[in-house]
């Protein structure tokens, strides 16, 4: 695992973990990384200070078991948040608007929307909210 400090187009800086630099590049190119504060997918690596310890034995690296436990906890939290919700993918804005307008029965859905789509939904009074966890689309989960 590798951690990067990332910066969105809105100048928010946040930290994200990746399996490798190649995994980061792949996810960034496919716009799968979004700012947790504003949802912007224009992401670049931010300047990072090197992690240099004063003594070689002063700080133990995270054990792989700890990382696996944390990832399992994150996956469990994601399942709990999405319980009873249906994945609609990139059709989120269209379906949310259709429910708001009464053209489709109301149900709990989750999916992907651009910042512009999300802002338009909010401006039109459609009840939407960003999810607090990074959501892995079903077709990309393992």
Domain ranges of the chain: 1-46, 84-126
The rounded distance, in Å, linking the Cα atoms of 23 and 88 is 25
Nearest Cα residue to 138 out of 96, 85, 68, 73: 85
**19 pLDDT higher than 80:** yes
CB 74 within 8 A of CB 133: yes
Tokens of 12: 């928010």
Residue 117, pLDDT score: 93
Tokens of 103: 């053209």
pLDDT in tens, 20-78: 888 889 999 999 999 888 889 999 988 765 666 566 556 666 567 777 888 788 878 88
Residue 142, pLDDT score: 55
The rounded distance, in Å, linking the Cα atoms of 133 and 131 is 6
Q: In this structure, what DSSP letter does residue 140 have?
A: G
Q: In this structure, what DSSP letter does residue 63 have?
A: P
Strands 13-18 and 43-45 come out as unpaired
The rounded distance, in Å, linking the Cα atoms of 54 and 59 is 9
Phi and psi, residue 33, nearest 5°: -105, 130
Q: Give residue for tokens 């809105």.
A: 10
pLDDT in tens, 67-82: 788 878 887 888 888 8
The rounded distance, in Å, linking the Cα atoms of 110 and 137 is 10
The rounded distance, in Å, linking the Cα atoms of 88 and 40 is 20
């Amino acid at each position: 695992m590798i951690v990067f400090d990332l910066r969105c187009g809105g100048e928010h800086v946040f930290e994200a973990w990746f399996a490798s630099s190649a995994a980061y590049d792949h996810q960034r190119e496919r716009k799968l990384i979004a700012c947790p504060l504003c949802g912007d997918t224009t992401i670049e690596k931010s300047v990072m200070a090197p992690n240099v310890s004063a003594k070689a034995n002063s700080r133990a690296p995270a054990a792989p078991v700890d990382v696996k436990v944390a990832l399992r906890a994150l996956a469990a939290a994601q399942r709990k948040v999405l319980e009873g919700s249906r994945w609609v993918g990139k059709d989120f804005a269209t379906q949310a608007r259709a429910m708001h307008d009464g053209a489709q029965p109301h149900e709990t859905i989750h999916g992907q929307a651009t910042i512009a789509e999300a802002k338009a939904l909010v401006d039109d009074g459609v009840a939407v909210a960003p999810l607090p966890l990074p959501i892995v689309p079903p077709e990309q989960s393992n």
